Structures are given as C-alpha cells and as structure tokens.
Amino acid sequence: MKVAKLFDILYYQLENRPIEVSISSKKNGIWEGISTKSVIDQVNQVSRGLLKYRIKPEDRIALITSVNRTEWSIMDFAIQQIGAVSVPIYPTISDDDLIFILNNSEAKFCFISDKKLYDKVQNIKDNCPSLTNLFTFDEIEGAPHWTEIKKKGEEDSNQHEVEKLKNSIEPNTWVTLIYTSGTTGRPKGVMLSHKNILSNVMGCHTRFIMENDEKFRILSILPISHILERMVVYVFMYKCYGIYFAEGIDKLASNFQEVRPNVILVVPRVIEKLYASIYNKGTSSGWIKKQIFLWALNVAKKFEPFKPVSFSHKIADALVFKKWRKAVGNNLQLIICGSAALSENLCRIFNAAGLVITEGYGMTETSPVISVNGRTEDVFRLGTVGPLLNGNEVKIADDGEILTKGPNVFLGYYKDEEKTKEIFTEDGWLKTGDIGYMKDGFLKITDRKKEIFKTSGGKYIIPQVTENKLKQSQFIGEAMVVGDGEKMPCALIQPDFDFIAKYISYKRLPIDSSSPAEIANNKEIKDRIMQEVEKVNKSLGKWEQIKKIELTPSVWSVEGGEFTPTLKLKRKFIKEKYINLYNKLYDK
C-alpha cells in the first residue's frame, strides 16, 4: 500500500509484516508489548473517543510525558487520524513557557504522563482559558485517566466518521505544532504537515539498510517530543522494527541488557558521556589493562571505514572493543546521531569499535533532517553529516550560511507571519543559521552562524570547535567559549565533578570532593584544568587560543537552564547566570 499520511505507517506494517511487539514500555518492572493489530485497534478506539468528546479537525491537543511511553504513541496516531493537531511539549520547560505554548496553540485537551507534571499543569491551568480537559497516563487520584477517552470509543458505531476523516486528510494537511526550545527568546510554533515528516521518513529509511532485520528492535531514548526521535520512531515502524521505549537515562544500562537493541538515536552529549565512562573505566583498571586500553584507542584513531582492518585492530577488538559492544546489549548495529555537532574523533573511535554512528543534520523547521550519513560506503563520510535526502536542495550563501529547499520544509510559524518571512530568503530558500559547505556530495557543518563572534581585535572565533575539543578531557564536563567584543577568547568551564573527585582521592588533596563549590574555587584544580586547556590550545590558531578560564560551581543541566531540552547550550543564559565569573575573566 502507498503511505501518504503518517498514520498509514500502521496499516502498512499490518499489511506487510505485522509484529507481535510493535510498541513496548516497561511497567512495574515488566516490559509490556502490544502487537501491530492491537496498536491499530487502540488508535481507532481513541480516535472514536476523541470525536465523542467533540474534538474537530485542526483542534490542538497537547502531549507531555516525562519518559517515552506507549500511550503517547497511541495518542499521536489517534489525533492524526481525525485531522486534529498534536502539540508535543517538553516536560522540563518553565511554567512561563508552558503557559505561553498552551495559550498560543489554544490547546483544548492536554494528556500528561504523571503526577508531577499533572500538578505542574494544574497549577497554571487557570491561566490557559482554552484548556478544557486534562487527562493522565498514570492513575492519579482525582485526575481524569486517559482510559476515559478509550471507554468513550469502545463502541464502534462512529468508526465510519474516523474513516471519513482519514480519507479527507491530504498529505499537505497540518499534523503537528512543535515549539522550538530555542536558545533565546520565546518558543516558536513550527507547523509541520504529513508530507513534511513523511519525506524524511522515506528519505531516511533507505539510508539505514540492514540485513536480516526481521526481528530488529529500536530502543527509544531521546524525548519523543523531540521531532528527530519522533521521526526516527516512524522510520523504524515503517521498517517493521519493534519500538521499545526506554525508562529514562538513569535506567539506560539495564534497558540495553534487557532489550538488546539493534538501533538507537542519540545526541552528541550521550556519546560524550558514554565515552567518558568508558575512558574512566579503561584507565583505572590496573597498569597493564590501562596500557592495553590506551593502545587500542590509538589503533581506533587510525581506523578508516570500509577499508580492511589491520591485525592490530583485530587484536584491539578482541581485547577491548567487544566489551564496549557487550555493554550496550551486543546487538547494536546503528547509532543515529543528530541535533548538534559530534567530534569527528569520537565518531571514528566508535565506528572502529563496531558501534556504527551515522551523523545527520537538520532543524525542526525541516522535519527535521536535511542530510544524513547511511550504512554503505557510497553514503558515508566521517566528519560530514552525509548526503542530502532525496528531494532536498542546498545552496551556500555568500556568507557561508546553508540555505535549503525541499518537501521537508515547514508550513510556517504558527500565528507569526513576520518570523516566517524572516527565516526565508526573498527567492524562497530557508535560512538554517548554520555555516557549512558541500564537498563531493556530502554536507559539512562548521558552526552556528549566530554563535560565531568577533573579538575586539577583529578576529572571528568559532566556539563549538574549541568546545568539542575541550570536552574530550576527563577533567571537563562542559565548556562555553566566550569573548564577543572582548580582547581575547576565554572559557567558562563546568568541571567533571565525578572524575575530579577520584582525582582528589588519588592525589590525596585537602579538598572536599563532595563540594562542587570548593572544587570550582580551588586554585590547584583550576591550574590542572588549565593544563588540559593548553593541550587544546596547541591545535588552535593563536587568535583562537583560550587565554583564561573560570570554573562554574554547579552542574549544567536542562533544569538549571544551561541547556535547551535538546542539550544545546543556552549561551546568553549561561553568561548571565555566571556573570560574576565572566567579569573576572575580563577584569571587570
């Protein structure tokens, strides 16, 4: 059958390869999976229930969950089938942004995962006049449960209405309203159609060809409200893989062993944290094991994809790399990485270890993928974000900015014609805000246009390149290069407090390792981290080198405000939060 609308994916799976576990979540310690047919039955039941609650085409329905779960996916497809519009919302956003999104979208219903989020929405509900009903996925005393919608749809006398609405929906029909987390300002509502997202689904699935994949599983890790995670889930539902929703980052290690996934999707920060964990373990296992581990890393750094591996590489794999694969379930064949730039060095090391990373690029406004590396040599180049998806176009503006066109480009910003007009050139190209170039059919990203800054001496600084190098140090958890309009580039650094605690113990330093503030204010620790910075400086031009650093006394997080929900640095916020440290850098 032809897949022209997102919900067609379910019926395509049923017709081509129905599976016993199409979607699965863990409840009360047990993985509970439902078959393709059961997914469709429940989706139709919820669609019928929503109609009986008088939900109409283009009505907005908000979805907020703290962890990915089966109920969210069922709601997503049920909303699509009747022409309503889903509004996925990150659980970590501020109350002010939550009020703004619910009011700007004029959401009528809101489905919420748990008590903490229910209380959060309940507390601001009076500020959202359009919001008439709240439903929860967990059973919460006094709160309407989502099964109330399902019960309304148990009797199928109005299924013909669902079918009529399904048939009336066009590929260009608006299907979801996604508010970009943004690194500055108010969130913007990105309107995406079935065609937008399906162009990505169809373009991506051909890049991820794997053999003997009849029983493959994907472990869904990133927030499902993230358009990249959501689109990738659609890709692998189309490929008839079982979707397993992870319990959360804190349960990831056990989930890997239980699910033994073949595919995962991550952002670079997950790879960086995983590598830091591997490195710490590998260098603290006794002198002999440490030397073997470091030797294996040097072998990995010489790895060239699709070229014959050396005898040394085979030895390194037997002694070291196979343990990495075992830690993630021993079945992992593909790691898709997006949302921000990944260090080429890390990408090479993981690919050398048999943990294949394919990096892609895009933005919410492009549904979200513009380009992505694939599994075969003709569509894979280390250090790039791959060839363009079929139908997508790219041209490079005079200032280096990447411009794009294609079926994936969004319908516009909701209720904001001015910002919609601003993001397009006069001749209709979408401005990505990223700097890059095409080489041999592959797209290379160099930096965010708005993040490049100029020192008072007139030298341009590309912060992300330096930051990625800094974060490869065991001592450095996070880093932000600063210096816009100043005489020199400096850096605000969040130490890796866990590693430094071990360093303090090993060196027997008179420092309270349980106190981030004491660590950040300690001169000896600061000097040691500056040594790491100097190592990076050797690879930089003189004008790019970090002259001074200050250490922040807290861990950067989404909740703390330093990151967007997609783990991008909120540079303006970080500078303001640590303004006293910033002023010290420049003797203000």
User: Domain range spanning residue 90?
Assistant: 8-169+206-259
Q: If pLDDT is split at 50, 70 and 90, which confidence band does 73 have?
A: very high
Q: Is residue 73 part of a domain?
A: yes
Tell me which of 10-24, 226-240, 365-379, 434-448 is least confident. 434-448
Among 238, 259, 280, the domain boundary falls at: 259
CA 210, CA 458: separation in Å to the nearest integer?
A: 49
* Tens digits of residue pLDDT in 523-564: 999 999 999 999 999 999 899 999 999 999 999 998 898 988
Among 198, 229, 259, the domain boundary falls at: 259
Q: Is residue 371 part of a domain?
A: no
- Reply yes or no on whether the pLDDT at 566 is more than 80: no
Q: What is the CATH number of the domain that holds 117?
A: 3.40.50.12780
* Tens digits of residue pLDDT in 174-201: 999 999 865 556 889 999 999 999 999 9
Q: Is residue 132 part of a domain?
A: yes
Tell me which of 117-121, 263-267, 338-342 is least confident. 338-342
**What's the structural domain count of the chain?**
2
* Tens digits of residue pLDDT in 304-336: 999 999 999 999 999 999 999 999 999 999 999
pTM: 0.89
* Tens digits of residue pLDDT in 475-504: 999 999 999 999 999 999 999 999 999 999
* Tens digits of residue pLDDT in 263-276: 999 988 889 888 88
Q: What is the pLDDT of residue 223?
A: 92
Residue-wise DSSP of 42-111 = HHHHHHHHHHHTT--TT-EEEEE-SS--HHHHHHHHHHHHTT-EEEEE-TTS-HHHHHHHHHHHT-SEEE
Q: What is the CATH number of the domain that holds 482?
A: 3.30.300.30
CA 475, CA 574: separation in Å to the nearest integer?
A: 20
Q: What is the pLDDT of residue 181?
A: 66
Structure tokens at 486: 């100043």
**HSE (side-chain half, CA atoms, 13 Å) at 262:** 16
CA 555, CA 168: separation in Å to the nearest integer?
A: 50
Among 259, 289, 324, the domain boundary falls at: 259
Q: What is the pLDDT of residue 490?
A: 96
Radius of gyration for the chain, computed over Cα atoms and rounded to the nearest angstrom: 24
pLDDT over 70 for what percent of the chain? 99
* Tens digits of residue pLDDT in 123-160: 999 999 999 999 999 999 999 999 999 999 999 999 99
Say whether 267 sits in a helix, a strand or coil: coil
Q: Is residue 354 part of a domain?
A: no
Q: Is residue 404 part of a domain?
A: no
> In which residue are the tokens 């002010």 written?
96
CA 563, CA 269: separation in Å to the nearest integer?
A: 11
User: Mean of the per-residue pLDDT values for the chain?
Assistant: 94
